[in-house]
Amino acid sequence: MENSYSHLVHIQSRDELRLYELIPNVVWIFDLDRHGWWWGNQAAIDFWGLKTVDDLINKDLSGDTQGAKDRTAQTFELAARQGLTIDPWTTYPNGKPKTLHMMHRAVLLGPQKHRGIIAYINEEVNLGETPENLLLVEAMRYTNVLVTSFTFDGAMVIENPAATEAYKQINTAALRDGITEFTARFADPAEGARCLEKAIAEQGGRWTHRMQTSAGLRDHTLDIRLTRHPLSGDFLILMSEYDVTSLHKALQDARDAQEKLQQMAYYEALTGLPTLHLFQDLAAAHIAHAQRKQEKLAVMFIDLDGFKTVNDTYGHEIGDQVLKEVAQRLKSSLRVSDLLARSGGDEFVALQLDIRSKQDALSFAEKMTSILARPVATHQGNIPIGASIGVALFPDHGHDLKTLINAADKAMYQVKRNGKNGVSMAQ
C-alpha cells in the first residue's frame, strides 16, 4: 500500500485536525479499512444529529451494503489518482435521504496508514428546484443525440426519448444469457461486451461502432464517460451516441472515388492491364533485383497480326472484344510474378522473371503465339488473329527497360518481315 499511495498526505493523529473545526461547512474523515468514521468537525456531528465526535466514530454501519462499501472504495481510488473528486452523494441522516455535493480527497490515516477520504460538503443538491436543472432536463428530452446511462453490468438505468426511439425494437425481457441492454444495441453483441469492458477499464473514451437500431444498421460514435447516480452514488456509464452513418458513407465514397482515379491512372480501361507507366516502375525494380541476384529476365514485345483488318472489317466494337480476349489469354499464360501491359493499339509488352536460358524464353514466346493463334469467338463469328513476338534478354541485350524494349521491338519487326506469326530473339 505504501508504494501505491506514497504520494498521499498522511494524517498521523487527530491532533493535526484542530484547524478543521474553524470550517463552518461539514467536514468528516472516513476510514475505509475500518469502514467507519475516523473524525468529524462540529458541523459534521450536527449533520448526523449526534453529540460528540466519539458518537460519530462509533456510529453503527453494520447495515451498510457491499455496494456502499464498493462505492466508497471507488471514490478513494479516483481521488488518489485525480487528487479530488466532486460528485453528488446521498446520505441518510435521521433516516431521511439527503443529496449533497461532496468533494473527496484521499489520505492515509493513523500509524497503520489506513485508507481514508476527507469529505467536504458545501451545499445541498435539490434537483429540479432550480431553473438551470429544469432546462438541462428539457435539453436532454428534446435533443437528437442518444443519451443513456448504464450500470457497469450493462443494465440500463435511464435513457432520453431519442435513445428510446432508436432502440425500441430491443425486448429486454427476451435478452439471451450474456446479452445485456448495453450489448444488445451493437450489431455484434460480443463487440459491445468488449466496448463496455474497455470503457470501464479506461474510465471512458470515444469509439465508433456499427449499431442495430430501429432504422437498421447505423454507424454511431459513442462518447462514454463515468458518472455517479445522483441518489445512490453508484458509478455509472453515461453514453452519448452520434449517428455518423452519412459521414462514413461520404468518406467511403471519397475513398472509392480516389481508388477509381488511381485505377484509371495505373490500369488500362479496356483490358484492365497495367498501364505502360506502371509497368515501367515495376519492371525497373525487377531489373534491379535481377542485377543483384545475377538472374536473367526476358522482355517480349507482342504485336497482333492483321488487327487493322479486324477493325476495318468488323468495326471497333469487335476490335475491342478481340483486344480484351488477347489480354486475357496473355495474362493467363504468364505466371503471377510476371508483368504484362498494353503499350498501345494492338501492341503488348511482357516481362518474364527468372529465365535460365535463351531457349527457355523462346519456348515460352512460341507457346504464346500458339495461344494467340486460336480464333476469337464473337457474335459476328470466329475472328482469326495471330501475333509476332520479339524477345530480348537481360543482361544479354541491355541493362535497362528502354534498351530491352527497343531490342525486342526490332526483333518483332524481323518476324513481320519474315511472314508474321512467329518469334525472334534480339541480336
> Which residues are tagged catalytic?
346
- In the β-sheet with 296-305, what is the strand arrangement from edge to edge? 339-344, 347-355, 296-305, 386-394, 423-425
Residue type, 149: S
Nearest to 356 by CA among 264, 293, 403: 293
Helix (H, G, I), strand (E, B) or coil at 82: helix
Place of cell 450493462: 154
Q: What are the residues whose beta carbons fall under 8 Å from the beta carbon of 413, sequence distance 6 or more?
A: 390
Distance between CA 79 and CA 29 in Å, rounded?
14
Residue type, 33: D
Distance between CA 75 and CA 179 in Å, rounded?
29
* C-alpha neighbours within 13 Å on the C-beta side of residue 316: 2
Distance between CA 415 and CA 395 in Å, rounded?
22
CB-based burial label for 120 (10 Å; 0-12, 13-18, 19+): middle
CB-based burial label for 377 (10 Å; 0-12, 13-18, 19+): exposed
| Helix runs in 202-244, H state only | none
| Helix runs in 18-84, H state only | 42-47, 53-57, 66-82
C-alpha grid cell for residue 412? Answer: 518483332
Distance between CA 66 and CA 88 in Å, rounded?
19
Residue type, 267: Y
Helix (H, G, I), strand (E, B) or coil at 314: helix
Asked whether the CA dihedral 192, 196, 198, 203 is positive or negative, the reply is positive
Residue type, 103: M
* DSSP classification of residue 157: E
